[in-house]
Amino acid sequence: MNKTINTVAITGGTHGNELTGVYLIKHWQSQPQEVARSSFTPELHIANPAATQEVRRYVDQDLNRQFNIADLADPQLAGCEQQRAKALNTLLGPKEGPRVDFVIDMHTTTANMGMSLVFNSNHPLVIGMAFYIKQKMPNANLFYSPTDRLEDNFLRSMGRFGGLVIEVGPISQGLLNYQVYADTRTAVMHALDYLELYNVEAPPEVPKAMTGYRFIEKIPFPTNDQGEITGMIHPVLQGQDYQPIDPGDPLFITLTGETIVYQGVDTVYGAFINEAAYYDRNIGLSLMEKVDISYPTDSLDSTS
Residues that bind Zn ion (CB under 5 A): 15, 18, 107
Q: Which is nearer to Zn ion, 107 or 160 (CB)?
A: 107
Minimum distance from CB of 25 to Zn ion (Å)? 14
Q: Which is nearer to Zn ion, 18 or 196 (CB)?
A: 18
Minimum distance from CB of 12 to Zn ion (Å)? 10
Phi, psi of 94 (to 5 degrees): -75, 155
CA atoms within 13 A on the CB side of 125: 26
Minimum distance from CB of 107 to Zn ion (Å)? 3
Residue nearest to Zn ion (CB): 107
Q: Are 201 and 191 in contact (CB under 8 A)?
A: no
Minimum distance from CB of 119 to Zn ion (Å)? 15
Residue type at position 65:
R
Q: Which is nearer to Zn ion, 18 or 71 (CB)?
A: 18
Q: Which is nearer to Zn ion, 107 or 234 (CB)?
A: 107
Q: What's the length of the chain?
A: 304
Q: Which is nearer to Zn ion, 191 or 210 (CB)?
A: 191
Minimum distance from CB of 274 to Zn ion (Å)? 15
Minimum distance from CB of 14 to Zn ion (Å)? 6
Q: Which is nearer to Zn ion, 47 or 125 (CB)?
A: 47
